[in-house]
């Protein structure tokens, strides 16, 4: 495929497809495997991800896969590099490059993401290993006095420095300023914080001379806090999310791939579908889901090679449902039909 940043970015958000976030760190993957009583060995992590990547539905519904450093370097049981399996499905390999959210000095409860030191060299190596896009996640918490402008600007600055380095390495940056769902806030408060975070981000991307046509945004949806009993419905989430994005995201951005952020599998699909079915937008709206694509196949697989077909089938279903949501053609009845 083309090596132009804009062409890669557009291929990542082609209609009917989305991105599989399979970039869990080794400690996070241990928690996933612990939940199904499977030991977190390198082979078990490899076998699980190989099952996902070999699922035939990948070719129809997945445009790219975000990988962790270990996975980018791994080979399948038969010796085939996992990157080559992903490419054979017509998907683009990507790589998580940040070093995680750490406590922000002088701001209790707030985080800033680290990983800029040595990033240029790592990006050069990752490009040689086959990665054509990268991901960097910022964490924005909502509280009575959070987020501070200090937190928003610090994370936006780091995202912009990362994005500029990616483009110098001919890698498309996914910029992910995640406003966390946790808390008792209502949807209005989530809107305010998301709007502020995105405004800060695009101001910094401009200052860092980042070519927006060669970027992808990975934001949260505008939703109620998890501890708020008055949950906003599907239509309100879609309306408020689209309104927020139209206020903040330049039309030059090719596409927006939402994180699921702790939503249920079906809620994440329903919200995405409502946006695509009900609104005209200057960018493609798609998905970059981790848990919302993987929870069902992980449980079905259960660490047993004999269960790989069941795990693949569960992944294929969730990928298909979200692929339909990018077209505004999903319905709850399709979930029931598969039950």
Count Cβ atoms within 10 A of the Cβ of residue 18 and give its class: 0-12 exposed, 13-18 middle, 19 or more buried.
buried
Q: What is the 3-state secondary structure (H, E, C) of 55-98?
A: CCCHHHHEEEEEECHHHHHCECCCCCEHHHHHHHCCCEEEEECC
**Bridge-partner residues for 289, per DSSP?**
20
Q: Would you list the DSSP string of 161-180?
A: HHHHHHHHTT-EEEEEEEEP
Instruction: Let me know: does 170 contact 10? Beta carbons within 8 Å.
Output: no
Q: How far is CA 43 from CA 15, 51, 75, in A?
A: 34, 12, 10
Catalytic residue, chosen from 135, 204, 218, 239, is: 218
Catalytic residue, chosen from 24, 176, 178, 204, is: 176
In the numeric block, the tokens 């949807």 are attached to 187
Q: Is 176 a catalytic residue?
A: yes
Q: Is 329 a catalytic residue?
A: no
**Bridge-partner residues for 257, per DSSP?**
286
* CA separation for the pair 158, 160 (Å, rounded): 5
Catalytic annotation, residues: 176, 218
């Amino acid at each position: 495929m083309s090596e132009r940043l804009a062409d890669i970015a557009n291929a990542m958000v082609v209609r009917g497809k989305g991105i599989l976030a399979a970039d869990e760190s080794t400690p996070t993957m241990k928690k996933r495997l612990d939940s199904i009583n499977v030991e977190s060995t390198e082979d078990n992590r490899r076998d699980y991800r190989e099952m996902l990547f070999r699922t035939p539905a990948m070719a129809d519904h997945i445009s790219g896969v975000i990988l962790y450093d270990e996975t980018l370097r791994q080979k399948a049981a038969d010796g085939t590099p996992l990157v080559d399996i992903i490419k054979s499905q017509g998907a683009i390999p990507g790589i998580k490059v940040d070093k995680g959210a750490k406590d922000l000095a002088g701001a209790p409860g707030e985080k800033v993401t680290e990983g800029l030191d040595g990033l240029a060299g790592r990006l050069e190596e990752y490009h040689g290993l086959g990665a054509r896009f990268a991901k960097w996640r910022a964490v924005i918490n909502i509280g009575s006095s959070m987020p501070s402008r200090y937190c928003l600007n610090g994370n936006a600055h780091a995202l912009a420095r990362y994005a500029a380095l990616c483009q110098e390495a001919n890698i498309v940056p996914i910029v992910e300023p995640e406003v966390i769902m946790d808390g008792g806030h209502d949807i209005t408060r989530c809107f305010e914080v998301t709007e502020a975070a995105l405004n800060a981000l695009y101001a910094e991307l401009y200052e860092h001379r980042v070519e927006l046509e060669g970027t992808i945004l990975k934001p949260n949806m505008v939703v109620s806090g998890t501890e708020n009993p008055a949950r906003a419905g599907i239509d309100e989430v879609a309306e408020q999310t689209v309104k927020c994005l139209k206020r903040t995201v330049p039309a030059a951005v090719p596409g927006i791939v939402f994180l699921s952020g702790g939503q249920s599998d079906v809620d994440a699909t329903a919200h995405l579908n409502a946006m695509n079915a009900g609104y005209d937008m200057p960018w493609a709206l798609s998905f970059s889901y981790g848990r919302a694509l993987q929870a069902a196949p992980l449980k079905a697989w259960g660490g047993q090679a004999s269960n790989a077909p069941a795990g693949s089938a569960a992944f294929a279903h969730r990928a298909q449902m979200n692929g339909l949501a990018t077209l505004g053609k999903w319905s709850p009845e399709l979930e029931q039909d598969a039950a």
